Amino acid sequence: MKAVVLGAGSWGTAYAKVLGDAGNDVTIWARRPEMAEAIRSGRRNPDYHREVRLPERVTATADPEAAIRGAGLVVLAVPSQTLRGNLAGWRQWLEPDATLVSLAKGIELGTTRRMSEVIVEAAKVSPHQVVVVSGPNLAPEIAAEQPTATVVAGTEPARTAAVQQASSTAYFRPYTNDDVVGCELGGAVKNVIALAYGIATAMGLGDNTKATLITRGLAETARLGVRLGADPMTFAGLAGLGDLVATCTSPLSRNRTFGEQLGLGGSLAQAQAATRQTAEGVKSCLAIRDLARSHDVEMPITEQVERVCHEGVDPRAALTTLMSRSIKPE
């Protein structure tokens, strides 16, 4: 299969390696020509997973037209908030029946759309053409070929199975799922809960607190998901609990690391300056809060993360607010 990975960041690079190792011919599109040249000539991405040699089947270009034309598999590996704008430029070169694979884990600001919805609108493709990849997939571990599983979710079984086949290697094991809504929400909301987990970690809070955040975080994710039509079982799976645990507990997580900066007392700007990496939860917490409110769904942890990130609320005050909510059945 001829594949293109649009975005030469952390996950784009690691997923291109997966596709190459699985036997596909892969072109990575990089924004900067010098990055494309470095990947082509050195077989490594100088900014991400530098120690990892990319398979011979992986090449790179900075020319999006050359990369996208003729590709049956188009992997979208740019941050959530830029995806719509990127697709507006790229859609003219898409093959009519291309499969669009979303790696992004976020909800769009302003529209509160999930990434698959953004893709359908911006690329003007059928929802059946979109497949979502989500699960406990910390890119540096996958680049290092540490075993993990993931979920590929789509509405057209043959297409979903084709993506599963195309990204199946000895260290990367994809399971199919038809619950696109649940998988996308699991992937987006876990970033927000990981911010809370990072805040709690930096505040020196203990394992009971952290387990409570994971469990109640999953509860509010599932509550929103079910309201939007997701299968509740999805949240017990790889794209739910699996990704939530990986992201909250790993020091590799950029969302958790960002939360730690906030928990140490840093402002949003200070945390951004200290981390300088994509932490999707920071913007998505606003969109998820708005999405939940518009569907009358309570998401207390998300509400407080948004207040800490964007309203300058002290994390201790946010914690007090969470703990003083009315008591209720589980």
Ligand X SMILES: NC(=O)C1=CN([C@@H]2O[C@H](COP(=O)(O)OP(=O)(O)OC[C@H]3O[C@@H](n4cnc5c(N)ncnc54)[C@H](O)[C@@H]3O)[C@@H](O)[C@H]2O)C=CC1
135 is in an annotated binding site: yes
Interaction between residue 282 and ligand 13P (CB under 6 A):
no
Report the site for ligand X in 74-103 (rule: CB under 6 A).
77-80, 82, 86, 103
Non-local (6+) Cβ contacts of 9 within 8 A are 48, 77, 78, 278
SS3 content of the chain, % helix, strand, coil (to 5): 55, 15, 30
Q: If binding is defined by CB under 6 A, does position 247 make contact with ligand 13P?
A: yes
Q: Is 257 in the site for ligand X (CB under 6 A)?
A: no
7 known ligand binder: yes
Residues 287-306 that bind ligand X (CB under 6 A): none
Contact between 281 and ligand X per CB under 6 A = no
Distance between CA 144 and CA 14 in Å, rounded? 9
Q: Which stretch binds ligand X (CB under 6 A): 10-18, 64-72, 212-220, 232-240?
A: 10-18
Which of 86, 137, 177, 275 is in the footprint of ligand 13P by CB under 6 A?
137
Per the rule left: phi > 0, alpha: psi between -120 and 50, beta: everything else, 145 is: left
Please tell me whether residue 188 binds ligand 13P under the rule CB under 6 A. Answer: no
> Residue 226, class by beta-carbon neighbours within 10 Å (0-12 exposed, 13-18 middle, 19+ buried)?
middle
DSSP 242: I
Whether 190 sits among the annotated catalytic residues: the reply is: yes
Name the catalytic one among 2, 190, 210, 283. Answer: 190
Is there a contact between 302 and 190 (Cβ–Cβ < 8 Å)?
Answer: no
CA distances from 157 to 130, 161, 174, 181, 182 (A): 11, 6, 14, 16, 17
Q: Contacts with ligand X: how many residues (CB under 6 A)?
A: 22
Q: Decide: is 196 part of the binding site for ligand 13P (CB under 6 A).
A: no
Interacting residue with ligand 13P among 17, 49, 84, 105 (CB under 6 A) = 105
Task: Based on the shown chain and the rule CB under 6 A, indicate whether residue 10 belongs to the binding site for ligand X.
Answer: yes
Q: Known binding site for substrate: residues?
A: 105, 254-255
